[in-house]
Structure 1
Amino acid sequence: MNLVLAISLIILALVAGAAIGFFAARKYMMKYLKENPPINEQMLRMMMAQMGRKPSEKQVKQMMNQMNKMQK
């Protein structure tokens, strides 16, 4: 009887630990991506310059708005 109880408690602890770890990691990554977006305005300007374009401020803002809409 004690062996069955011990095994079930171990399994329950593993499942609870995995669930808590998953949600903690998810929350951390969401916070990290919100604070450090993958592409910012400076990177966008650099990419457009490499393609041979001189972007205006309006074009950069439009591209950033489109990227932000796609993330949400």
Structure 2
Amino acid sequence: MFWYFFWAFIGILAGVALGFFIARKYMMNYLKKNPPINEQMLKMMMMQMGMKPSQKKINQMMSAMNKQMK
């Protein structure tokens, strides 16, 4: 009787750990393929803050965000 509970507990722990790592890998790949902020969104945010966004400034901010994501 004890062994049934022991193996069930071990199975649950293994399932939780495996599920965590699979979900983490999936989210990392998803965010890499679909970044939360793109150039258009960045341009609109800068315009809303009262800045005139130049393409150079947008490229600098995007590269900084991409470096931070890695």
After TM superposition, give the deviation of residue 31 of structure 1 in Å.
Answer: 1.1
TM-score (norm 2): 0.92
1:24 aligns with 2:22: yes
1:58 aligns with 2:51: no
Gaps of 5+ in 1: none
Identity %: 59
Gaps of 5+ in 2: none
Higher alpha-carbon Rg? 1
Q: 1:67 corresponds to which residue? A: 65
For 1:6-17, list aligned pairs within 5 A: 6-17=4-15
User: Where in structure 1 do 4 or more consecutive aligned residues deviate above 6 Å?
Assistant: none
Number of residues of Structure 1 aligned to a counterpart in Structure 2 = 70
The CA RMSD measured in Å over matched residues stands at: 0.9
